[in-house]
Amino acid sequence: AQSVAQPEDQVNVAEGNPLTVKCTYSVSGNPYLFWYVQYPNRGLQFLLKYITGDNLVKGSYGFEAEFNKSQTSFHLKKPSALVSDSALYFCAVRHHYGGATNKLIFGTGTLLAVQP
């Protein structure tokens, strides 16, 4: 069965410092991996995705994520955090095989708090 783990409920970082939000996954075969961000009282917004190709994926708002197949991880990163990056971040996974449904399995979320 597919699953996603976000081991940290909250990540605290000072503005200007690099940030990492961790995600590990379990799926048979090749995964499609996604990161979403949720601001207070809003829906989830798509940040970036890994499908195939380069292990380093770049997305919106300066975020990037590194796919590591051997460690089954897809950590979200940003070189220099902003206070406005403070939000709830979700990692999600889907099977990569033909004829499948579009279902995404989400992690439990990590709250990122960037202190000024």
Task: Please report, as ranges, the residues that interact with other proteins according to CB under 8 A.
Answer: 6, 32, 34, 36, 41-46, 49, 51, 90, 94, 98-109
Angle at the Cα of 81 (from 4 to 61), degrees rounded to 5? 70
Comparison of 70 and 101: residue with beta carbon closer to other proteins = 101
Least distance (Å) between residue 107 CB and other proteins: 6
Comparison of 15 and 49: residue with beta carbon closer to other proteins = 49
Beta carbons within 8 Å of 46's beta carbon, 6+ residues apart: 34, 36, 60
In angstroms, rounded to a whole number, what is the distance separating the alpha carbons of residues 52 and 84? 30
Comparison of 30 and 80: residue with beta carbon closer to other proteins = 30
